Amino acid sequence: MPSALARKQPSRFARPISHTAKMLGGLTPPVPQAILRYMAKYSVSDLDRTFSALADPTRRAVLVRLKYKPGLSVSELARPFSLKLPGMTKHLDVLSDAGLITRTKTGRTVAVNLSPAPMREAIAWLSRYEHFWTVSLDRLAVLVEEDGEQ
């Protein structure tokens, strides 16, 4: 006597196979090839790396600490954050790849220092577009003043 598993009963949720699916040779139509050529040729600029590194609040806080206390070790940098050393090292790798810090190894200690050149490039890029938001902020100030007078 065949077991319950051997006897196949149609599920009440099963749908009939459509004529198109039969013609295509299965239930799922073929997936078109993905277009990856644009992403494969995409290269990240120095400015992109800088802004990407600055996007994280922990990395920005690390840069502030290094501004006031240059030459801190990795463990000294990690201490005020809820990070283990591997987590801090990953943040430092991102900052280093962006050129925002330099690391110097002396014996077993790695000292970390700021490197200001990428920040200067980012500020120069932002300053080219400053007039756009300055005009908007000036307009906003005028509207607020006019609203306050009424």
Residue corresponding to tokens 């240059």? 70
pTM of the model: 0.62
Give the integer Cα–Cα distance in Å for 130 and 138.
12
Residue 14 inside a domain? The answer is no
Phi-psi domain of 107 (left: phi exceeds 0; alpha: psi -120 through 50; beta: other): left
Residue 22 inside a domain? The answer is no
pLDDT at 35 over 80: no
pLDDT one-digit tens code per residue, 50-72: 999 999 999 999 999 999 999 99
User: What mean pLDDT, rounded, does the chain reach?
Assistant: 80
Residue 1 inside a domain? The answer is no
Q: Containing domain of residue 113, as a range? A: 46-119
Would you state the pLDDT for residue 39?
A: 52
- CATH number, domain with residue 63: 1.10.10.10
Residue 24 inside a domain? The answer is no
pLDDT at 137 over 90: no
Q: How confident is the model at residue 5 (pLDDT cuts 50, 70, 90)?
A: low
Total domains present in the chain: 1
Residue 114 inside a domain? The answer is yes
Q: What is the mean pLDDT of residues 63-91?
A: 93
Residue 146 inside a domain? The answer is no
Pairing of strands 72-73, 109-114: antiparallel
Residue 25 inside a domain? The answer is no
pLDDT at 4 over 60: no
Give, rounded to a whole angstrom, the gap between the first and last alpha carbons of the chain: 92
Would you state the pLDDT for residue 42?
A: 55
Alpha helices in 7-128 (DSSP H): 19-24, 37-40, 46-54, 57-68, 74-78, 85-97, 117-128
Residue 63 inside a domain? The answer is yes
Does residue 25 or residue 108 have the better pLDDT? 108
